[in-house]
Structures are given as C-alpha cells and as structure tokens.
Structure 1
Amino acid sequence: MKKLKYYTIASLLRVVSWLSLSAAQRLGGFVGSILWRLSTKTRQVTDINLSICLPELTAGEREQLSKDSVRHTTMTALEIPLIWEWPVDKCLGLVRETVGLELVGEALASGKGLVLLAPHLGNWELAGLFFSSRYKMAALYSPPNMAEFEEYMIKVRSRLGSELVRGDRRGLLRMMTILKEGGVAGVLPDQSPRGKTNAYAPFFGTDVKTMTLVAKLMQKTGANALVTYAERLAGGQGFRIVIEKPVPGLADEDPIVAATALNQSVENLVRQVPCQYQWEYKRMRHRPPGLPDPYKPGVLT
C-alpha cells in the first residue's frame, strides 16, 4: 500500500513538472484562491498567525495578506516538482538576480564554514539548489514517513553534490565536520524543534519554541552565518536570491539570547516580502507551558 502511495505521488510530481513556471504559478494561485475562499484549515491557521504576528495591520490588510499568503504557498507547492524534476541548468536559469552574494564569498574567505539559514520564505528548494551548485554543502532534513519517498527526495536534492543529513546525532556530527572543512551547512531555522535542544524566544512578539542548533554549530566550529531566501518575481519571471547578514548574537552562550537573534533574523526577512512566507505553518503551537494554544481554543500548551 505504501509503495502504491509513493508511485502515485511520484507520478503526480512528474506530471506537474511538465508545466512551465508561469503555468505552475497560475495553477497554484488558482488553487490557493479556492482554499482561501472555502475557509479551509489552511486559511484558518494563516489568519490566526497573522492576527498574532501582525496586529498593526488593519482587518482589510490582514485579509488581503492572508489571501496572498495562501496563494503563494500553493504556488510553492506547484513549483517544487519543477525544481525536483527539471534538469539542473534549467532550474538555475530561473534565478534572474542575486543580491548580497558577495557576503558568501567574504564569509568563506575567512577559512571558516558558513551556516546558511533559509526560512520558509519564497522558494526554499530553489535556494538550496542554487547554493549547492556553487559550494560544498550539507543540508539538514527531517525524513518523511515513506522510506521510498525519502530515497527520491535525497536523490533530487543532492543532484549537485549537496549532502543531506538527518537531524540526529550522526547527522549533526557530519555537519560540524563540513563546517570545520570550510563548507556550507543549510538549515531551515523557523520550524518548531523536536527534542530538548531548544529555547523559548520571541518571534513576532510571541515566545515560541526555537532551535538552539544554530548556536551550537557556530560555537563548536567557529562558523559564520548568513540568512537567505529566493524571492518569487511577478509574472512568472523567475526568482531573486537575497542574502543578508543576520542579527548579532546567533552564537551567544545564552540559549535565549541566541534563539532571540535567530528569530529576529528570520522576522527581518519575512517583513520584506510577508506575502511569500508560509504563514500556514503552526509556528505558535509550542509556547511556554500553561499558555493558550492559539490553534485549539480552550486548550493550554
């Protein structure tokens, strides 16, 4: 049954990959508009997150941002089969512009490794492919439930030599080795971490469980850090890779200080193109114990 499910998903990915970028984005936007209008769980989570994180917006502004966010998230979902199935050169041709790429060269010229932080903003799959085409890179990932799909995911993400490592002890040791060798470690910094390596720190003014992995990697290897995202350009024109310096304090010995700097670095990027952030993720579900769960009225965390 699992194999049948895998082959069904793989077939759908390949069919979608036959689309052009503009067609995939139009279809994704259309599906997103339907999901938003039907007031699905996706829209409900988006609305909750926006009300918590951007209370300064008017009701009308939040409504428009909610609609735009759901549309961009479904665009990303339809773009991923293209990034996974298209020839690498064709994918890299979608990058029309880079901003701040010299910062990567400067960071690596120091002889130290680089922790590259890519939140769920724009198309993070394209960002990963872009950097793995230029640098020796390892990327942290969480394995999916289907073993067959994990093999497929590793295959497509490592086409240019990027090494995928699990978020376990062995994987973290491998990331440290690559950083000590002057390579790049890619991390998605805006997920609720599992296990005990976390701290509660503010994200858009709300304390949420935040990874301390980035601080540990930097402390143990002396690596630098930068933040990045692939911004979707209008009209199916492609993407702009943006690289910036993070907020100071990512490697602080105090885990709360380090986690706060991490969240602020992500927040600064999100505020640049808030409609392209994945507000559909339940980022606020892991709050300090005893506080209300915003997604489950009447339930405490």
Structure 2
Amino acid sequence: MAFVFQFLSRWPLWLLHRLGTVCGWLVYVLSPGYRKRLQDHARQAGVHEADRRNAVAAAGRMVMELPRLWLGALVPVMWDGAHHIEQALAEQRGIIFLTPHLGSFEVTAQAYASRFGSSGAPMTVLYRPARQLWLRRIIEASRARPGLHTAPANLAGVKQLIKALRSGQCVGLLPDQVPPEGQGAWVPFFGRDAYTMTLAARLAQQTGARLVLAWGERLPAGAGYKVCVRPYELVLSLDLTEATAQINAAMEQVIRELPSQYLWGYARYKQPRRPDLAVGQESKKE
C-alpha cells in the first residue's frame, strides 16, 4: 500500500479528484448504511439536494488527494482572511484553530505551517496514530515539517498543547470529531444532540488563547485550495457545556458556508467509545 501512495502522490490534483469522485459515488451506492447516514445528516441540517450530491463526490476527493498532500509536491494555496491570523499572532496569547470536517482540513495545517510556522509560532495538531504501521509511518513523515508539530491523543499530548498555547503558539483541533466517553458533552449540532469534545473549550478557558475558525476549500478542476480564516468574536462562556455548545454553533456557521464539502457521512451522532488513551480523565487533573 505504501507503494500505491507513492505512485498516486505524483498524480495531478485534477486527476486525483476525478478518481475521488468515482470512488465517492461507488461507496455511496454500495454501502446502504453510509448512504442513509449521509442523507439523514444532510437533511437534518437542511442541506439542499445539489449540495448533498456534491458532498458525495467531495468525500471521495478528500481521500484520493491525501497521497499528494502527504507525499507529493506542494499544492497551490490561496488565502482568504490571513490578516486575522497576523492580528491574533501579534497579541501573543496563543491561537486555537477550530476546523470542522470540511473541505481539505489536512491542507489547512500545512498552509499555516508554510506561511506562518517558521516565524516562531508553529502549529501543534493532536493526532491518534493509525493502526497500520505503513500508514502510520506515512502520516508521521508528512507532518514532520517545519512549523508543524504533532501531539499524541493522551495526557502528555494535552500538556503539550497547553504549553504551546502559553508560549504564544498555535494548536489545531477538529471539534466536530466524536471523542471517547468521558471527554465530551452532549450538546446540539444542527438541531440534534451530538457528543462533542470539550477539549477546545477547556484549552481556551485555561490559557486565554484566541479562537480562530479555519477551513480549506477545495477549488474546482484541481486548481488547488483556498484557506479561509474567520475570527471567533463571541465571548466564550465560563460554563464548560455552554462553551462547547457555542463552539458547535460556530462550526455550524462555517459548514453552512460550504455544505457541499462537508463530510455528512461521518457518524457525528454516534455513541462515544470507551477511552483507550485516557485523555479526558487524566486531563481533568490539569
């Protein structure tokens, strides 16, 4: 499989995205459970049929572009709102980037590292190692780049995030990812309660870091990506559950800007699994 990734990493984006469109629709047609989940979640959010259909293809494109993003040559990136990052960095309070499963969230961290990370404010992203050794090696190698650090999903990783923020650096989180049991709260997401990580809110409360919304829009015809940045302008509640609900509402606003590239097939409303790395329980001691 590593050879396949190496081979695909040399393909142009437009070809990878075309292949991804085919793969996305094949999975949609051949998997009744996935198809129903995507349809139910998109309807729950009031997404139009055209955007639902585009989201099917976008899911496949997200998978097929990974070899290029991880192993291939740099992809074209344009920015919308980069001045918000410059302003936040000038405050030296630390930045928490909140990125939903929208567009290419992989390219968002890479683009930040390339433009801002080398200036003394690297980004640290939380990750859970892949089970397959070959895939784990590829991912770790792809993220070992200037301006981009990784932190394991355990107590040591949470401490690493806190240290980075208190040093005026940045961290990147996917707040719409379902955390293990004990590490989240049940709060509304598009009108239905979803188990949501409290880590983003806890980090903001403990460090006073700025919250910034960011996502990577996939441009048509393989033209590259547009990294969009928006400040989070509301005052975050001191109540952890309310603060988590506020972050969910912010994610809804971002997703509504580009519903055709959100992973509606992600099992967002599933029951949380039991923790295997004890992030939630141990981090309460912080």
Report the TM range for the smaller structure's normalisation.
0.7 to 0.9
1:271 aligns with 2:252: no
Preserved contact between residue 247 and residue 264 of structure 1 (Cα < 8 Å) = no
| Corresponding residue of 1:293 | none
Count of aligned pairs: 267
| Corresponding residue of 2:27 | 35
| Corresponding residue of 1:123 | 104
The partner residue of 1:44 within 27, 31, 36 is 36
- RMSD of aligned Cα (Å): 1.7
Given the superposition, is the C-alpha separation of residues 66 and 38 from structure 1 closer, same or farther in structure 2, using an over 3 Å criterion?
farther
1:78 aligns with 2:70: no
| Corresponding residue of 1:295 | none
Secondary structure at the aligned position of 1:192 is classed as: coil
Secondary structure at the aligned position of 2:193 is classed as: strand
Q: Distance in 2 between matches of 1:65 and 1:241?
A: 20
Preserved contact between residue 17 and residue 81 of structure 1 (Cα < 8 Å) = yes
| Corresponding residue of 1:222 | 208
| Corresponding residue of 2:13 | 21
The partner residue of 1:197 within 178, 183, 208 is 183
The structure with the largest alpha-carbon Rg is 1
Given the superposition, is the C-alpha separation of residues 41 and 18 from structure 1 closer, same or farther in structure 2, using an over 3 Å criterion?
farther
CA positional deviation for 1:42: 2.7
Q: Distance in 2 between matches of 1:164 and 1:195?
A: 23
Q: Distance in 1 between matches of 2:143 and 2:34?
A: 27
Q: Distance in 1 between matches of 2:52 and 2:239?
A: 35
1:12 aligns with 2:4: yes
| Corresponding residue of 1:297 | none
| Corresponding residue of 1:171 | 157
CA positional deviation for 1:40: 3.9
| Corresponding residue of 2:143 | 157
Percent sequence identity is 28
Q: Distance in 2 between matches of 1:169 and 1:147?
A: 23
1:281 aligns with 2:273: no
In structure 2, what residue type is equivalent to 1:272?
E
CA positional deviation for 1:190: 0.7
Preserved contact between residue 247 and residue 265 of structure 1 (Cα < 8 Å) = no
Q: Distance in 2 between matches of 1:256 and 1:217?
A: 13
1:112 aligns with 2:104: no
Q: Distance in 2 between matches of 1:66 and 1:103?
A: 31
CA positional deviation for 1:166: 1.1
Secondary structure at the aligned position of 2:65 is classed as: helix
CA positional deviation for 1:66: 2.8
1:188 aligns with 2:174: yes
In structure 2, what residue type is equivalent to 1:282?
A
Give 5+ residue unaligned stretches, structure 1.
1-7, 288-301
Q: Which has the higher contact order (CA 8 A, sep 6+)?
A: 2
Q: Distance in 2 between matches of 1:18 and 1:149?
A: 18
The partner residue of 1:257 within 238, 242, 249 is 242
The partner residue of 1:238 within 224, 227, 237 is 224
CA positional deviation for 1:148: 4.4
CA positional deviation for 1:246: 2.5
- Higher mean C-alpha displacement, 126-135 vs 183-192: 126-135
Secondary structure at the aligned position of 1:271 is classed as: helix
CA positional deviation for 1:104: 0.7
Q: Distance in 1 between matches of 2:31 and 2:136?
A: 32
Q: Distance in 2 between matches of 1:17 and 1:200?
A: 39
CA positional deviation for 1:243: 0.3
